[in-house]
Amino acid sequence: YWKSSKNFADGRAYHIIRSRFYNDENDKLGLAKLDMMGPAGPFTFGIADTVFAGGPTGCGALCAGQACGLGGAGGPCNVQYLLHNVDFSRVSASSKHINFGINSVDQGHVLPMFVADDDSLGGFRSLVSRYLDGFENVPGCRQAGYEWGFAWGCDRPIRRLNIWGPRSDDVTISGPGYAVPPVDLAPVHGMNAGKLQYEPANGHAYGTPVMVGETYNIEGNWQGDMVIDFSDWALANYFG
C-alpha cells in the first residue's frame, strides 16, 4: 500500500509504470488478496502500462485513498487517479477493478476520482464514487457496474476542487452533480448534496470533485483568507 505522495517536481505524470500486480486465484490457502491500495491528497496519482490480474480482491484491484485523513497519510481525500493503458481484463470474475476508500476517514469513500483518456476505465473518461448520486443527473454520466464499484461514470472530464484555509462554518458547493437531497448517514454526511467536509489532519482544506467547464457556487461563513485550487499542472500537461 501507499499512504502519501505528491506530484513530481520534474513533471513526470506517473508514479507506477510498466508494472504487474498478480495474485493466484487458485491459491488453496486463500489468504492473499489482489489489492493495490493507493494514496490520497491534493495531487494526481498516475499509473501507466500496468496489468492487474488474478484475484480474489478485497477492496478492489486498485483502491484509492489508503488511510486518507489519518495521521501520516494524505489529505484532503479528493485525489485524482490518472490511468493510461491499464489492463484489468485478467482480474478474476466477480472481483472489483477499482474502489473508493480503504482504512480511511469517511471522505476517502466519497471524494477520490479516476480519470483516463483511453479504455483503462471501461471507456469512461471519469469515475466518481457511487455515494455522489447527484452525478446521475449530469448529462453524459451513468452508473457503472460492480467491477467499477458502482461508481458514476462520465464521458466528460472531472477534476478536484480544493479550498485551502482555516476551518469555516457551513461550507457548501452547488452546481452539476450536487442538486440532490442530502444523505446524512455515514460515510456521506451530506457531501452528495454539496456539504463540504474539512480535512484537519493533513490538508487543512475542503475538497470535492467538479465537472470541467461548468459553473459552481461556493458559500460559507469564512473564518479567514481562503485559496481556491482547481486540479493541477500534471493533468493539464497530460491532457493539453
Angle, CA of 24, 38 and 128, to the nearest 5°: 105
Centroid of chain to Cα 133: 15
Distance CA(11)–CA(32), nearest Å, equals: 35
**Closest by CA position to 129, among listed 107, 96, 103, 104:** 107
Q: Write out the DSSP string of 180-229.
A: S----STTTTTGGGTB---BTTTT-EEEEEEETT---EEEEE--S--EEE
**From start to end of 30-140, where are the E strands?**
36-37, 44-54, 62-66, 80-91, 98-102, 113-116, 126-128
Model pLDDT, residue 205? 96
Residue 162 has pLDDT above 70, yes or no: yes
| Per-residue pLDDT tens over the stretch 128-153 | 999 999 999 999 999 999 999 999 99
**Closest by CA position to 150, among listed 183, 122, 127, 118:** 127
Residue 122 has pLDDT above 90, yes or no: yes
Which residues, in sequence order, are CB contacts of 128 under 8 Å at separation 6+?
Answer: 113, 135, 151, 152, 154, 158, 177, 209
| Per-residue pLDDT tens over the stretch 181-230 | 999 999 999 999 999 999 998 889 999 999 999 999 999 999 999 999 99
Q: Are 177 and 119 in contact (CB under 8 A)?
A: no
- Domains of the chain by residue range: 16-239
Which residues, in sequence order, are CB contacts of 6 under 8 Å at separation 6+?
Answer: 41, 43
Model pLDDT, residue 3? 85
Q: H or E element: which one contains 152? A: strand 152-154
Residue 28 has pLDDT above 70, yes or no: no
| Per-residue pLDDT tens over the stretch 68-120 | 999 888 899 999 999 999 999 999 998 999 999 999 999 999 999 999 999 99
Distance CA(146)–CA(201), nearest Å, equals: 32
Residue 179 has pLDDT above 90, yes or no: yes
For residue 166, how many C-alpha atoms fall within 13 Å in the half-sphere facing its CB? 7
For residue 217, how many C-alpha atoms fall within 13 Å in the half-sphere facing its CB? 4
Q: Which amino acid is at 164?
A: W
Residue 29 has pLDDT above 80, yes or no: no
Three cell numbers, residue 135: 452525478
Distance CA(183)–CA(110), nearest Å, equals: 12
